[in-house]
Structure 1
């Protein structure tokens, strides 16, 4: 098949947005594109070029220039420029495509009626999603980019604008995180506990949710609605209320665990000598308490999800397995569990990513304590709560906190994508 040709001169015209469309006879579209180009040129002349220069320098006069404001303005201008570059490339491709159709004699849409028709047939989905994309740029992309840029600056308690200027320092914050002894030991301690916390707490709530849903689904269970209500109670109460309540329950001297439950167990089990546990002052037992609390808070959601999945499994499969002599464990391993994972695998992954950044339970229960491991982090702080402390203590380290934030994002995104790929979580059949 002969390759579709076009007038090579159209590329020269399209170098200026709108002229390529004029050359193709689409005057109205050309006028719109040329107007957009003109507005961008005016914006660049009066604001854009200066904003990009300030993004590079981050100011030159302490007390007058606010480096953070300049960074935000420059980042915003960078986004506007990238959007225009995308528009610029698109209008060149549009001019070439239309010229190709014109060369082989296909009808060309002209006038505002043609633009309206083109939007109705090909551009309608983009027209509907355009406002969402614009909102996403300013509410998600802009803050993320500013955080990314902050990770490469010396923004700390010695460089707080406008009293002092912020400077670009490259990857120094990442070097400090991994090679500076004070921060390296803190990072490794916090990071290792974050991994342990994420794996154990998330796995516990998933196991509890699957177990309770599977047991409650059995035909021989009576009063299923009552069990359903009981299992949903932890989900019905606001999480912060539950966490604060458990903080009191696990109190070393006056909490219900040490004052009532442990003495009761000693009476019921005289051959077992249980003593009061330092839940709030012993790092090990504080971690155990946190994991148990998260299991309590997280399993109802898994229970509801798995209950819905179990109701969709055909009883014929279990009847056939019974005829073949399968045990309850074999039925679960070969019928129930695969059905659950095929549907709920993405949700299970989100439980791990959520707990990796679960700030509320760590901070509300014991503020990341007890004690500390250096660098402003407590013994039970995870990365996200350490970031909070890095930015709110008396000597804030905003640049380092941004570097840790980027590391968290990279870990969560990489692990999520890997698991989604391995489990074919979003594969469309």
Structure 2
């Protein structure tokens, strides 16, 4: 029997009108029962079988893993806090995914019941599959990748963050010892204890100086050479450009090792064959100032060919009509460079030039291969040329001070994320398509 509504409204069957979405929501506390209440038989039995299987299979392991994450073990040499930490984090990730699927089950049952109450017909099996494929295809593709990302990317990140709140170091290493949660003690030590605060300030300031100076110099040199060689009066452009690109063609680690030998204080070619004629012997590897100057010089050598190639390509794409029009208006070389060359180059290469700064901020290879962050500095547990990433490496693999390395990594990640977020906000990366 149907109930007639006001003119223009849909006729709602009596059974559908009495259908209660709240009842469907409460029944779906047991996965699948709400769907069965909505007469979605295949979906209901699928939810019921899969949901009960997951509950039976995962409930106890997840609870056990979370419990181990909380106490990190009770008996030394029997309980390995690292394993418990790994199992606990995986349990939390699996638990969050499980709760998400459970929430989808509740929402699905409630929405289906709401539609049925409003008189919407229950779709056939074929129509249900067709609707799921048409409207849910993006989710079928994204969800497996998201789960994989959670296990491959998010899990190591959570593990590193967790170590920053423990007392894991060389002298308190599992399984001989148990780890304990220490809260923000490691972060407090970074800013209050003299050795750590001095080291952090020194490394952070040098990282900023290194990033700005080395990157700016390599971009400036590349810009100057590209503009100079692009001049019509310069002959053999192809040969000169090929020679300038050669440093980019050689593997960087080989170049760094060669420069390390050349800058050696005793037998290096720079001191022996060049400065020896002036009675000089510069301590490139043993003096902090000269070591930093050498590293900046090497990075300029390694980095400018890439930027030179980018800028050269942009310069060749600028129409000559612009310069001819400027000549007619009496524009000087400086004005043509300022109002034509510079804007065109920056517009085309600005994102890539910004990436050069990001790359040098974490340029571990050069720092490690040249001098392993040295020379050592009195009163610090970091070297004179250590940047944040190389300092973290040294704390992790040389000193086994995992807790402080993790704490510094978090600080470094916050700084980089803040900078990246600022850059993205200045672009259209976070805007929706309909906002353009």
Contact 1:29 1:115 in 2 (8 A): no
Partner residue of 2:176? 163
TM-score by length of 1: 0.88
Contact 2:77 2:177 in 1 (8 A): yes
Contact 2:21 2:111 in 1 (8 A): no
Partner residue of 1:248? 261
**What are structure 1's unaligned runs of at least 5 residues?**
267-272
**1:119 Cα deviation after fit:** 4.2
Partner residue of 1:398? 402
**1:143 Cα deviation after fit:** 0.3
**1:33 Cα deviation after fit:** 2.8
Partner residue of 1:270? none
Partner residue of 1:303? 308
Contact 2:195 2:381 in 1 (8 A): no
Residues 1:422 and 2:426 aligned together: yes
Contact 1:212 1:303 in 2 (8 A): yes
Distance 1:328 1:127 in 2: 58
Distance 1:116 1:312 in 2: 52
**1:75 Cα deviation after fit:** 0.4
Q: 2:25 aligns with which of 2, 7, 11?
A: 11
**1:405 Cα deviation after fit:** 0.5
Distance 1:396 1:248 in 2: 29
Partner residue of 2:81? 67
Partner residue of 1:191? 204
The 1:47–1:221 alpha-carbon spacing in structure 2 relative to 1, beyond 3 Å, is same
**1:245 Cα deviation after fit:** 0.5
TM-score by length of 2: 0.87
Residues 1:284 and 2:298 aligned together: no
Distance 1:233 1:25 in 2: 71
Compare CA radii of gyration and give the structure with the larger one: 2
Partner residue of 1:238? 251
Partner residue of 2:92? 78
**1:194 Cα deviation after fit:** 1.1
Distance 1:49 1:253 in 2: 62
Contact 1:202 1:352 in 2 (8 A): yes
CA deviation string 1:18-63 (max 9, x = no partner): 3333333322223333333223312333311100100111111100
Q: 1:20 aligns with which of 29, 34, 56?
A: 34
Q: 1:378 aligns with which of 357, 362, 383?
A: 383
Q: 2:104 aligns with which of 75, 83, 90?
A: 90
**What are structure 2's unaligned runs of at least 5 residues?**
1-8, 10-16
The 1:303–1:36 alpha-carbon spacing in structure 2 relative to 1, beyond 3 Å, is farther
The 1:129–1:333 alpha-carbon spacing in structure 2 relative to 1, beyond 3 Å, is farther
**1:189 Cα deviation after fit:** 1.1
The 1:24–1:192 alpha-carbon spacing in structure 2 relative to 1, beyond 3 Å, is same
Partner residue of 2:3? none
SS at match of 2:297: helix
SS at match of 2:21: coil
**1:312 Cα deviation after fit:** 4.1
Contact 2:222 2:304 in 1 (8 A): yes
Contact 2:196 2:381 in 1 (8 A): no
Moved more, 233-242 or 115-124: 115-124
The alignment covers a number of residue pairs equal to: 416
The 1:400–1:216 alpha-carbon spacing in structure 2 relative to 1, beyond 3 Å, is same
Contact 1:156 1:398 in 2 (8 A): yes
Residues 1:123 and 2:136 aligned together: yes
Distance 1:320 1:390 in 2: 60
The 1:348–1:307 alpha-carbon spacing in structure 2 relative to 1, beyond 3 Å, is same
List aligned pairs for 1:111-150, cutoff 5 A.
111=125, 113-150=126-163
